[in-house]
Structure 1
Amino acid sequence: MMWFLLCVGLLIGGYFIYGTFVEKVFGINEKRQTPAFSQTDGVDYVPMSKGKVYLIQLLNIAGVGPIFGPILGALYGPAAMLWIVIGCIFAGAVHDYFSGMLSVRNGGQSVPNLAGKYLGKSAKHFMNVFAIILLLLVGVVFISAPAGLLGKLTGWDVSIFVAIIFVYYLIATVVPVDKIIGRLYPFFGALLFFMSFGLAFAIMLSSEHSLLPNVQAGDFFQNLNPKDMPLWPALFITIACGAISGFHATQSPLMARCVENEKNGRFVFFGAMIGEGIIALLWCAIALSYFHGVEGLSTGMAGNPANVVYEASTGLLGAVGGFMAILGVIILPITSGDTAFRSARLILAEFFKMPQVALPKRLVLAIPLFVIGGLLTQVDFGVIWRYFGVANQATAVLMLWTASAYLLRHNKLHWITTIPAMFMTTVVITFLLNSATLGAGLPMTLSTIAGSISTLVITALLIVKTKGKGEVDSDGELPDEA
């Protein structure tokens, strides 16, 4: 239990210490009017309180990523928890903060437009395609996972729940943000906290199970995978949403359109990622503890993380409490899936310069997205998840480089985003070069060397081409920023 509490303490400390430092580097302006007020439209730009925006942001970014990813990552042992802590504080929370605050500074624009502004038109076009693909994959993943759990709970055909969730997604995608998302998500947030803390207290009080009882300090630096799967770079692709996730960059602009003041940014964007990191830690620890180590976890999982959720929840909280916990796990992906499709609609709206106040115009963009999403649900879930993992981290890489370009142009400390960008760039390139199913199938050593060299070249090019580019006004901001 000591190790778990220490990890949670480090995450909370990271919010107050490193989060404050990141905020200072960015340089908030409490007097600057946010898009929620300057562009209010009653649909997507709607001012909301800090607490409500935080809960919606947390639910938007959570999904099954901080549950399924850490459970799969737990097969490598406590090293997964170490990456969650380090990755969440120095990469994921920084990534989320800049994706949110750069959107606030640029009228609530989405990631492709931000990438285009700070990295160039080629990056914008690439990001437009990549973001839409990622959001469609997310939407499909976050339909299949909850539908499967609902089918397991009720015994009904999974396709029934797929259809029901699709209908809900369509409605939530086109109605004003404060009608469903703004009203229901705070309640869902309470259910999420019940699920998280309920399971934590249950395993702490359990006579049969203890929280990480036999973990030693050295275990955090070892690969304990029972099948000898290599930790590098797979762990950093497998655990996405609990440490760093590009999907979050597509979600942060949704709440950037609702934030009332720039001073709320650290709590909403940095803080929500820290909250997700705590959820990821919890599920990683439960997976290792409930099944008494990686060997038992591998057997109990049987290839599907949903089995771990079901067994641990019902085993620790009983039938009723377990049902409530599983319901929380079901709601998490649903509350991310609907905003994934909403984000895709808004990205297309920006690309086609199509105002979204009128309902018919929202439907024109939303319906084709759902048709494509419906077709993708017929693809094997395992295949979709692999492509989602790579696309997710590649999107995070591009967002981090966008933030670095912003800081370089403003002569600010860019290393807070450049260092995590370099690390994740190496991870993605190495993974793609090494993977036999998704990439070139090259040897790991060669892939790592090539990934490292490529990263150094990208870093040098960015710094040389971007540093000091563009003149700033008296407030230290680029003239074209609102």
Structure 2
Amino acid sequence: MSLLLITLISISILLAGYFFYGKFIANVFGLTKENITPACKINDGSDFVPASPAILIGQHFAAIAAVGPIAGPILAGSLYGWLPSLLWIAIGAVFIGGVHDFSALVASIRHDAKSVAEVVKLYIGQKAYFLFLIFIWISLLYVIVVFTDLTAGAFVSRPELGEENFGPGVATSSFLYLGLALLMGFCLYRWNWSLKKASFIFIPLVFLIIFLGQQIPIELPPILGSSRKSWDFLILIYCFIASVIPLWTLLQPRGYLGATILYATFIVGVLGTLFGGFEIQYPALIHPETADTPRLPIFPLLFTTIACGACSGFHGLVSSGTTSKQLRQEPDAKAVGYGGMLLESFVAIVALSTVMILPINDQTLSLGPDEIYARGLAHFMALFGMSFGAAVTFGKLAFATFIYDTLDVATRLGRYIFQELTGLKGKFGAFLATFFTLFFPGILIMIEVKGINGKIIPLWKIFWPVFGATNQLLAALTLLGITVWLKKSGKKWWVTALPTLFMLVTTLGSLILIIKPWLLGILKRGPVFHPVGTTAFLLFILALILLIQALPKLIQKSVSTQSSLENKI
């Protein structure tokens, strides 16, 4: 079967979803230019700045399209086949993920750009707000662990790959990339360069370091037991520094340069899938009972394994955190919130296609999502005459760059939430909150687990199931809070209630499957702490309590006649 045909069908589904269901959802929320957005109302030139939709959708897309929609589809596609993965990515994004991102954005702008957690406090209660913050903070810890180890895996040397051992060179390119971002920040904000001038110089340099990195590869000594552990620790140090320094020094210029790489990979993916002439070789469906290796059931784990490609709770934090403070007018929310999610789902489809073009016995499938993605992009980039080595380096640098985006935001958000929970203030409070946010991931990266073959299992593989489940559960709880708001306001609350119900079933079901072996172990051997089982159990209980808190609010009669709520909707 032709990859072109599947790509065209997928694009058609996403476009139809945007123009038809997206329009319906926008009408449900009653978007109008008459309502003044917080960006225009406050417009302080700092946090609240109205932006054109063309600019804002690019910034929002760059913030949400990290490595989740790449790694998740690759994992799910290789485990269960490409067809169920593709269906969930395309259909799930239209009816659930897009609705989640859009509704979180609209809920925020209708409440003075408050966060989703604050909307939960307003409509469900103070206790729910406190529990929701704890849930988010714990979820962010696992985001940091998973993405730190994925980055480390992209940097380590793999001698078995011979001439295709590009990891140490990617590490060099990555460090040079961060150095460029730091220098660009000073050029823009200390030496008053124009953005046009800085872009003209630094964007070409980003692509130059792709080639330069392979000439001077970096390999860390196994100080903490292995080179990978050393990279894990060094990346956590980067997270600490990036979280406490001013935004202009590194995060803003790095985000700008990272967006350039993101758009480049997006274009490569589009052109490669449409014009590469590739045939699909991977099986459409792999049943767990007939697979060569043991696999957990496709329902509900397919949905939580794909994670961000179809729906992501992390997006709600971005939508209600920074994007809502820049929305120029309410109708723009459809393009930015709903459209941004559909764009990310296409990124997920491109990532899935890097599995689809491989035969099931291809050795690339055993190398991990970073190598699969990078080598898939390399095949696409052959259309432009780029050498395989340079193309793989570009793909792996892009992979690492997307992770930096996530790590930066996750660590900073973790710090904000910890300060909110503890009342820590000032610079010392920021340093202390960052330390505690990274302390638990720092402990977890020292864990070493071996499989039945005696080989060490990468940490990201161990924690991905609980990461995927908690990220999706965060989306479910966000939708739950928005459903209560819509119900109280007399609107068609089923548009978020049905996605809430589906996400609760799949995520809580996934957590039960994760918790089950841990509980059985307790019954046999007595109480024992397990970082995955224990945390999954804690998050499961938190979610149930939040659900219990919300149910009475949903049962209450609509109060849309109250003027205060009319003004909010």
Tell me the TM-score normalised to structure 1 length.
Answer: 0.83
Give the CA deviation at 1:238. 0.5
Q: Does the CA-based 8 Å contact 1:434-1:440 persist in structure 2?
A: no
Q: 1:346 aligns with which of 416, 426, 430?
A: 416
- Residue 54 of structure 1 corresponds to which residue in structure 2? 57
Q: Deviations over 1:211-237 (max 9, x none)?
A: 43688xxx5798885547421111011
Q: Does the CA-based 8 Å contact 2:130-2:421 persist in structure 1?
A: no
Q: 2:365 aligns with which of 292, 301, 317?
A: 301
Q: 1:370 aligns with which of 424, 438, 457?
A: 438
Give the CA deviation at 1:338. 0.6
Q: Does the CA-based 8 Å contact 1:72-1:305 persist in structure 2?
A: yes
1:168–1:87 CA distance, 2 compared to 1 (3 A) = same
Match status 1:105 vs 2:110: yes
Query: Any gaps of 5 or more consecutive residues in structure 1?
Result: 442-453
Counterpart residue identity of residue 9, structure 2: L
Please give the alpha-carbon distance, in whole angstroms, between the structure 2 residues aligned to 1:50 and 1:162: 37
Q: Does the CA-based 8 Å contact 2:489-2:565 persist in structure 1?
A: no
Query: Any gaps of 5 or more consecutive residues in structure 2?
Result: 158-166, 169-217, 221-227, 382-387, 448-458, 522-543
Please give the alpha-carbon distance, in whole angstroms, between the structure 2 residues aligned to 1:63 and 1:304: 17
Q: Does the CA-based 8 Å contact 2:281-2:356 persist in structure 1?
A: no
Match status 1:274 vs 2:342: yes
Alignment of 1:50-449 (within 5 A): 50-74=53-77, 75-77=79-81, 78-152=83-157, 153-154=167-168, 156-157=219-220, 158=228, 161-162=231-232, 165-175=235-245, 177=247, 180-202=250-272, 205-206=275-276, 210-212=278-280, 227=293, 229=295, 230-255=297-322, 256-289=324-357, 291-292=358-359, 295-296=360-361, 300-302=364-366, 304-317=368-381, 318-351=388-421, 359=427, 362-379=430-447, 380-435=459-514, 436-437=516-517
Please give the alpha-carbon distance, in whole angstroms, between the structure 1 residues aligned to 2:443 and 2:559: 44
Please give the alpha-carbon distance, in whole angstroms, between the structure 2 residues aligned to 1:144 and 1:471: 52
1:173–1:462 CA distance, 2 compared to 1 (3 A) = same
Which secondary structure state, in structure 2, belongs to the residue aligned with residue 237 of structure 1? helix
Which secondary structure state, in structure 2, belongs to the residue aligned with residue 266 of structure 1? helix
1:213–1:390 CA distance, 2 compared to 1 (3 A) = closer
Which secondary structure state, in structure 2, belongs to the residue aligned with residue 239 of structure 1? helix
Give 1 or 2 for the bigger CA radius of gyration.
2
Please give the alpha-carbon distance, in whole angstroms, between the structure 1 residues aligned to 2:43 and 2:244: 16
Please give the alpha-carbon distance, in whole angstroms, between the structure 1 residues aligned to 2:248 and 2:48: 9
Please give the alpha-carbon distance, in whole angstroms, between the structure 2 residues aligned to 1:181 and 1:306: 23
Match status 1:465 vs 2:468: no
Q: Does the CA-based 8 Å contact 1:432-1:438 persist in structure 2?
A: no
Q: Does the CA-based 8 Å contact 2:487-2:554 persist in structure 1?
A: no
Q: Report percent identity of matched pairs.
A: 26
Q: Does the CA-based 8 Å contact 1:174-1:363 persist in structure 2?
A: yes
Counterpart residue identity of residue 321, structure 1: A
1:25–1:174 CA distance, 2 compared to 1 (3 A) = farther
1:194–1:371 CA distance, 2 compared to 1 (3 A) = same
Q: Does the CA-based 8 Å contact 1:88-1:273 persist in structure 2?
A: yes
Q: Deviations over 1:146-178 (max 9, x none)?
A: 232133421623456445544543444345556
Tell me the TM-score normalised to structure 2 length.
Answer: 0.71
Give the CA deviation at 1:372. 3.5
Q: Does the CA-based 8 Å contact 1:65-1:241 persist in structure 2?
A: yes
- Residue 477 of structure 1 corresponds to which residue in structure 2? 567
Give the CA deviation at 1:44. 4.7
Please give the alpha-carbon distance, in whole angstroms, between the structure 1 residues aligned to 2:518 and 2:10: 33
RMSD: 3.3
Give the CA deviation at 1:433. 3.2
Which secondary structure state, in structure 1, belongs to the residue aligned with residue 262 of structure 2? helix
Give the CA deviation at 1:348. 3.6
Give the CA deviation at 1:253. 2.1
1:185–1:472 CA distance, 2 compared to 1 (3 A) = farther
Please give the alpha-carbon distance, in whole angstroms, between the structure 1 residues aligned to 2:48 and 2:424: 15
Q: Does the CA-based 8 Å contact 1:50-1:264 persist in structure 2?
A: yes
Which secondary structure state, in structure 2, belongs to the residue aligned with residue 259 of structure 1? coil
Please give the alpha-carbon distance, in whole angstroms, between the structure 1 residues aligned to 2:430 and 2:40: 22
Which secondary structure state, in structure 2, belongs to the residue aligned with residue 437 of structure 1? helix
Please give the alpha-carbon distance, in whole angstroms, between the structure 1 residues aligned to 2:428 and 2:105: 28
Q: Does the CA-based 8 Å contact 2:484-2:554 persist in structure 1?
A: no
Counterpart residue identity of residue 304, structure 1: G
Q: Deviations over 1:405-426 (max 9, x none)?
A: 1111111111111111111111
